[in-house]
Amino acid sequence: MHHLRQAKERGEPLTMLTAYDALTARIFDEAGIDMLLVGDSLGDNMLAHPTTIPVTVDEMIPAVRAVSRVARRAMVVADLPFGSYEASPQQCLATAVRMLKEGGAHAVKFEGGAHLAEHVRLLTRSGIPVFGHLGFTPQSENLLGGKRVQGRGQEAASHLVADAHALADAGAVAVVLEMVPAPVAERVTEVLRVPTIGIGAGAGCDGQVLVWTDMAGMTSWSPRFAQRFGEIGEALYGATRTYARAVRERTFPAPEHTYEK
Protein backbone atom coordinates (compact mmCIF):
# COMPACT_ATOMS: atom_id res chain seq x y z
CA MET A 1 0.00 0.00 0.00
CA HIS A 2 2.89 2.26 0.89
CA HIS A 3 4.48 1.60 -2.54
CA LEU A 4 1.18 2.34 -4.30
CA ARG A 5 0.81 5.68 -2.51
CA GLN A 6 4.44 6.63 -3.08
CA ALA A 7 4.32 5.72 -6.76
CA LYS A 8 1.34 8.01 -7.28
CA GLU A 9 2.96 10.85 -5.35
CA ARG A 10 6.23 10.53 -7.28
CA GLY A 11 4.59 9.98 -10.66
CA GLU A 12 6.27 6.56 -11.03
CA PRO A 13 4.22 4.29 -13.30
CA LEU A 14 2.98 1.07 -11.68
CA THR A 15 3.13 -2.24 -13.54
CA MET A 16 0.57 -5.01 -13.29
CA LEU A 17 0.09 -8.24 -15.24
CA THR A 18 -2.38 -11.04 -14.88
CA ALA A 19 -1.00 -14.39 -13.72
CA TYR A 20 -2.82 -17.67 -13.23
CA ASP A 21 -0.09 -20.14 -12.28
CA ALA A 22 3.22 -20.45 -10.47
CA LEU A 23 5.33 -20.87 -13.61
CA THR A 24 4.47 -17.53 -15.16
CA ALA A 25 3.98 -15.70 -11.83
CA ARG A 26 7.57 -16.50 -10.85
CA ILE A 27 8.87 -15.05 -14.12
CA PHE A 28 6.77 -11.87 -13.81
CA ASP A 29 7.77 -11.44 -10.16
CA GLU A 30 11.46 -11.87 -10.93
CA ALA A 31 11.12 -9.46 -13.86
CA GLY A 32 10.00 -6.77 -11.40
CA ILE A 33 6.26 -6.48 -12.07
CA ASP A 34 4.71 -4.59 -9.12
CA MET A 35 1.34 -6.35 -8.96
CA LEU A 36 0.11 -9.75 -10.13
CA LEU A 37 -3.61 -9.88 -10.81
CA VAL A 38 -5.19 -13.31 -10.64
CA GLY A 39 -7.95 -12.08 -12.89
CA ASP A 40 -11.21 -13.82 -13.59
CA SER A 41 -9.89 -13.66 -17.16
CA LEU A 42 -8.63 -17.06 -15.99
CA GLY A 43 -11.99 -18.16 -17.39
CA ASP A 44 -11.51 -17.18 -21.03
CA ASN A 45 -7.71 -17.42 -21.06
CA MET A 46 -7.01 -20.65 -19.22
CA LEU A 47 -10.26 -22.57 -18.79
CA ALA A 48 -11.64 -22.08 -22.32
CA HIS A 49 -14.86 -20.44 -21.14
CA PRO A 50 -16.30 -17.98 -23.69
CA THR A 51 -16.29 -15.15 -21.09
CA THR A 52 -15.34 -14.51 -17.46
CA ILE A 53 -18.91 -15.07 -16.30
CA PRO A 54 -18.79 -18.85 -15.61
CA VAL A 55 -15.68 -18.64 -13.40
CA THR A 56 -16.24 -19.79 -9.81
CA VAL A 57 -14.49 -18.97 -6.54
CA ASP A 58 -13.40 -22.61 -6.30
CA GLU A 59 -11.69 -22.30 -9.69
CA MET A 60 -10.01 -19.05 -8.68
CA ILE A 61 -8.59 -20.18 -5.32
CA PRO A 62 -6.00 -22.71 -6.61
CA ALA A 63 -4.76 -20.13 -9.12
CA VAL A 64 -4.50 -17.44 -6.43
CA ARG A 65 -2.68 -19.89 -4.17
CA ALA A 66 -0.18 -20.87 -6.88
CA VAL A 67 0.61 -17.23 -7.69
CA SER A 68 0.88 -16.23 -4.01
CA ARG A 69 3.24 -19.10 -3.26
CA VAL A 70 5.88 -17.85 -5.67
CA ALA A 71 5.44 -14.06 -5.51
CA ARG A 72 8.37 -12.75 -3.48
CA ARG A 73 8.05 -9.08 -4.25
CA ALA A 74 4.84 -8.42 -6.16
CA MET A 75 1.49 -7.67 -4.55
CA VAL A 76 -1.02 -10.40 -5.39
CA VAL A 77 -4.51 -9.14 -6.21
CA ALA A 78 -7.36 -11.67 -6.54
CA ASP A 79 -10.43 -10.94 -8.65
CA LEU A 80 -13.80 -11.75 -7.12
CA PRO A 81 -15.71 -13.65 -9.81
CA PHE A 82 -19.23 -12.87 -11.03
CA GLY A 83 -21.91 -13.83 -8.49
CA SER A 84 -19.53 -14.02 -5.53
CA TYR A 85 -19.86 -10.49 -4.10
CA GLU A 86 -22.68 -8.41 -5.58
CA ALA A 87 -25.53 -9.52 -3.29
CA SER A 88 -24.30 -7.82 -0.12
CA PRO A 89 -21.20 -6.42 1.61
CA GLN A 90 -21.27 -9.56 3.78
CA GLN A 91 -21.16 -11.87 0.74
CA CYS A 92 -18.31 -9.77 -0.62
CA LEU A 93 -16.39 -9.98 2.67
CA ALA A 94 -16.86 -13.76 2.88
CA THR A 95 -15.45 -14.26 -0.64
CA ALA A 96 -12.59 -11.83 -0.06
CA VAL A 97 -11.68 -13.60 3.18
CA ARG A 98 -11.38 -16.87 1.22
CA MET A 99 -9.07 -15.18 -1.30
CA LEU A 100 -6.79 -14.04 1.52
CA LYS A 101 -7.02 -17.05 3.86
CA GLU A 102 -7.09 -19.89 1.31
CA GLY A 103 -5.45 -18.14 -1.63
CA GLY A 104 -2.84 -16.04 0.16
CA ALA A 105 -3.75 -12.89 -1.81
CA HIS A 106 -2.83 -9.47 -0.46
CA ALA A 107 -5.79 -7.62 -1.96
CA VAL A 108 -8.97 -8.19 -3.95
CA LYS A 109 -10.58 -6.50 -6.93
CA PHE A 110 -14.19 -6.38 -7.98
CA GLU A 111 -16.16 -4.66 -10.72
CA GLY A 112 -18.63 -1.84 -10.17
CA GLY A 113 -19.08 1.72 -9.00
CA ALA A 114 -20.85 3.75 -6.30
CA HIS A 115 -23.47 1.06 -5.64
CA LEU A 116 -20.67 -1.10 -4.22
CA ALA A 117 -19.21 1.58 -1.94
CA GLU A 118 -20.58 -0.19 1.14
CA HIS A 119 -18.84 -3.39 0.03
CA VAL A 120 -15.54 -1.52 -0.26
CA ARG A 121 -16.10 0.14 3.13
CA LEU A 122 -16.72 -3.16 4.94
CA LEU A 123 -13.69 -4.88 3.41
CA THR A 124 -11.47 -1.89 4.16
CA ARG A 125 -12.70 -1.82 7.77
CA SER A 126 -11.89 -5.54 7.91
CA GLY A 127 -8.31 -4.94 6.78
CA ILE A 128 -8.64 -6.03 3.16
CA PRO A 129 -7.24 -3.73 0.48
CA VAL A 130 -9.69 -3.30 -2.40
CA PHE A 131 -9.03 -2.47 -6.05
CA GLY A 132 -12.05 -1.03 -7.88
CA HIS A 133 -12.73 -1.73 -11.55
CA LEU A 134 -14.63 0.78 -13.72
CA GLY A 135 -15.26 1.44 -17.40
CA PHE A 136 -15.79 -1.74 -19.36
CA THR A 137 -16.53 -4.36 -16.73
CA PRO A 138 -16.44 -7.78 -18.43
CA GLN A 139 -18.78 -9.42 -15.90
CA SER A 140 -21.53 -7.06 -17.13
CA GLU A 141 -20.86 -7.54 -20.81
CA ASN A 142 -24.36 -8.90 -21.41
CA LEU A 143 -25.82 -5.67 -20.05
CA LEU A 144 -23.26 -3.45 -21.77
CA GLY A 145 -23.92 -5.07 -25.14
CA GLY A 146 -20.46 -6.53 -25.64
CA LYS A 147 -16.92 -5.29 -25.26
CA ARG A 148 -17.45 -1.54 -25.71
CA VAL A 149 -15.57 1.58 -24.69
CA GLN A 150 -17.31 3.15 -21.66
CA GLY A 151 -17.42 6.74 -20.42
CA ARG A 152 -17.91 8.36 -23.83
CA GLY A 153 -19.78 11.68 -23.73
CA GLN A 154 -20.16 14.25 -20.96
CA GLU A 155 -22.76 12.42 -18.92
CA ALA A 156 -21.08 9.01 -19.00
CA ALA A 157 -17.71 10.58 -18.20
CA SER A 158 -19.12 12.48 -15.18
CA HIS A 159 -20.76 9.29 -13.99
CA LEU A 160 -17.45 7.45 -14.21
CA VAL A 161 -15.64 10.18 -12.27
CA ALA A 162 -18.35 10.06 -9.58
CA ASP A 163 -18.03 6.27 -9.35
CA ALA A 164 -14.26 6.53 -8.98
CA HIS A 165 -14.67 9.10 -6.20
CA ALA A 166 -17.20 6.89 -4.42
CA LEU A 167 -14.84 3.90 -4.47
CA ALA A 168 -11.82 5.91 -3.32
CA ASP A 169 -13.84 7.63 -0.58
CA ALA A 170 -14.99 4.22 0.64
CA GLY A 171 -11.36 3.13 0.96
CA ALA A 172 -10.38 1.57 -2.39
CA VAL A 173 -6.58 1.58 -2.70
CA ALA A 174 -6.57 1.77 -6.51
CA VAL A 175 -9.02 1.78 -9.40
CA VAL A 176 -8.64 -0.18 -12.63
CA LEU A 177 -10.00 1.69 -15.67
CA GLU A 178 -10.80 -0.58 -18.61
CA MET A 179 -11.59 0.65 -22.13
CA VAL A 180 -12.15 4.28 -21.26
CA PRO A 181 -11.30 7.25 -23.52
CA ALA A 182 -7.84 8.56 -22.60
CA PRO A 183 -9.03 12.09 -21.62
CA VAL A 184 -11.61 10.61 -19.24
CA ALA A 185 -9.00 8.32 -17.66
CA GLU A 186 -6.69 11.33 -17.29
CA ARG A 187 -9.44 13.27 -15.53
CA VAL A 188 -10.06 10.41 -13.10
CA THR A 189 -6.31 10.07 -12.50
CA GLU A 190 -6.02 13.79 -11.79
CA VAL A 191 -8.86 13.99 -9.29
CA LEU A 192 -8.26 10.71 -7.45
CA ARG A 193 -5.77 10.48 -4.60
CA VAL A 194 -5.32 6.72 -5.20
CA PRO A 195 -3.64 5.29 -8.30
CA THR A 196 -5.53 4.43 -11.47
CA ILE A 197 -4.41 1.34 -13.37
CA GLY A 198 -5.38 1.49 -17.03
CA ILE A 199 -6.13 -1.17 -19.60
CA GLY A 200 -7.21 0.38 -22.86
CA ALA A 201 -7.38 3.75 -21.07
CA GLY A 202 -4.38 5.58 -22.52
CA ALA A 203 -1.01 6.57 -21.12
CA GLY A 204 -2.30 9.06 -18.55
CA CYS A 205 -3.10 6.51 -15.84
CA ASP A 206 -0.84 5.96 -12.84
CA GLY A 207 -0.14 2.41 -13.98
CA GLN A 208 -0.96 -0.15 -16.64
CA VAL A 209 -2.27 -3.69 -16.56
CA LEU A 210 -2.40 -6.23 -19.38
CA VAL A 211 -3.59 -9.80 -19.62
CA TRP A 212 -0.26 -11.60 -19.85
CA THR A 213 -1.28 -13.77 -22.81
CA ASP A 214 -1.97 -10.57 -24.79
CA MET A 215 1.27 -8.94 -23.62
CA ALA A 216 3.38 -11.95 -24.60
CA GLY A 217 1.65 -12.78 -27.89
CA MET A 218 0.27 -16.16 -26.85
CA THR A 219 -2.82 -15.96 -29.02
CA SER A 220 -3.43 -15.23 -32.70
CA TRP A 221 -5.70 -12.28 -31.80
CA SER A 222 -5.21 -9.60 -29.19
CA PRO A 223 -7.29 -6.49 -28.44
CA ARG A 224 -6.40 -3.18 -30.10
CA PHE A 225 -5.23 -1.65 -26.82
CA ALA A 226 -2.78 -4.48 -26.06
CA GLN A 227 0.72 -4.32 -27.49
CA ARG A 228 2.37 -7.70 -28.13
CA PHE A 229 5.76 -7.44 -26.42
CA GLY A 230 6.79 -10.90 -27.58
CA GLU A 231 5.64 -13.79 -29.74
CA ILE A 232 5.76 -16.51 -27.12
CA GLY A 233 2.88 -18.49 -28.65
CA GLU A 234 4.79 -18.79 -31.92
CA ALA A 235 8.01 -19.72 -30.10
CA LEU A 236 6.18 -22.42 -28.12
CA TYR A 237 4.55 -23.76 -31.26
CA GLY A 238 7.96 -23.92 -32.93
CA ALA A 239 9.56 -25.72 -29.98
CA THR A 240 6.68 -28.20 -29.88
CA ARG A 241 6.97 -28.96 -33.61
CA THR A 242 10.74 -29.43 -33.28
CA TYR A 243 10.30 -31.78 -30.32
CA ALA A 244 7.65 -33.86 -32.12
CA ARG A 245 9.84 -34.15 -35.22
CA ALA A 246 12.85 -35.21 -33.13
CA VAL A 247 10.83 -37.96 -31.44
CA ARG A 248 9.43 -39.19 -34.76
CA GLU A 249 12.91 -39.16 -36.36
CA ARG A 250 14.43 -40.81 -33.25
CA THR A 251 16.98 -37.98 -32.87
CA PHE A 252 15.62 -37.40 -29.38
CA PRO A 253 16.62 -38.68 -26.89
CA ALA A 254 20.23 -38.33 -28.00
CA PRO A 255 23.07 -40.22 -26.19
CA GLU A 256 23.58 -37.28 -23.80
CA HIS A 257 19.95 -37.57 -22.64
CA THR A 258 20.26 -41.31 -22.08
CA TYR A 259 21.30 -43.30 -18.96
CA GLU A 260 23.42 -46.27 -20.06
CA LYS A 261 23.45 -47.76 -16.56
Instruction: Enumerate the active-site residues.
Output: 178
- Quick one: which of 29, 34, 79, 163 contacts ligand KIV (CB under 6 A)? 79
Instruction: Examine residue 18 and tell whether it contacts ligand KIV (CB under 6 A).
Output: yes
Question: Minimum distance from CB of 81 to ligand KIV (Å)?
Answer: 9
Q: What angle do CA 228, 33, 141 make, to 5 degrees?
A: 60
Task: Identify which range of 39-47, 86-94, 163-171, 180-188 contacts ligand KIV by CB under 6 A.
Answer: 39-47
Could you say which of 7, 130, 166, 176 contacts ligand KIV (CB under 6 A)? 176
Answer yes or no whether residue 95 interacts with ligand KIV by CB under 6 A. no
Sequence-distant (6+) residues with CB within 8 A of 155 are none
State how far the Cα of 78 lies from the Cα of 64, in Å rounded to an integer. Answer: 6
Q: Which stretch binds ligand KIV (CB under 6 A): 35-43, 120-128, 238-246, 251-259?
A: 35-43
Give the N- to C-terminal CA distance of the chain in Å, as an integer: 56
Number of residues engaging ligand KIV in binding (CB under 6 A): 11
Rounded CA separation 80/60 (Å) = 8
Question: What is d(CA 142, CA 53) in angstroms, rounded to the nearest whole number?
Answer: 10
186 interacts with ligand KIV by CB under 6 A: no
Alpha-carbon distance of 246 to 172, in angstroms, equals 53
> With contact defined as beta carbons under 8 Å apart, do 99 and 129 qualify?
no
Q: What's the closest the beta carbon of residue 69 comes to ligand KIV, in angstroms? A: 20
Contact residue for ligand KIV among 7, 20, 24, 39 (CB under 6 A)? 39
Minimal distance, residue 46 CB to ligand KIV, in Å: 11
Within 10 angstroms of residue 26's Cβ, the number of other Cβ atoms is 17
According to the binding rule CB under 6 A, does residue 215 interact with ligand KIV?
no
Among 29, 34, 40, 163, binds ligand KIV (CB under 6 A): 40
- Cβ closer to ligand KIV: 79 or 186? 79
Please report the DSSP string for 193-234 in residue order.
SSPEEEESS-TTSSEEEE-HHHHTT-SS---TT------HHH
Q: Footprint of ligand KIV on this chain (CB under 6 A)?
A: 18, 37, 39-41, 79, 176, 178, 199, 209, 211
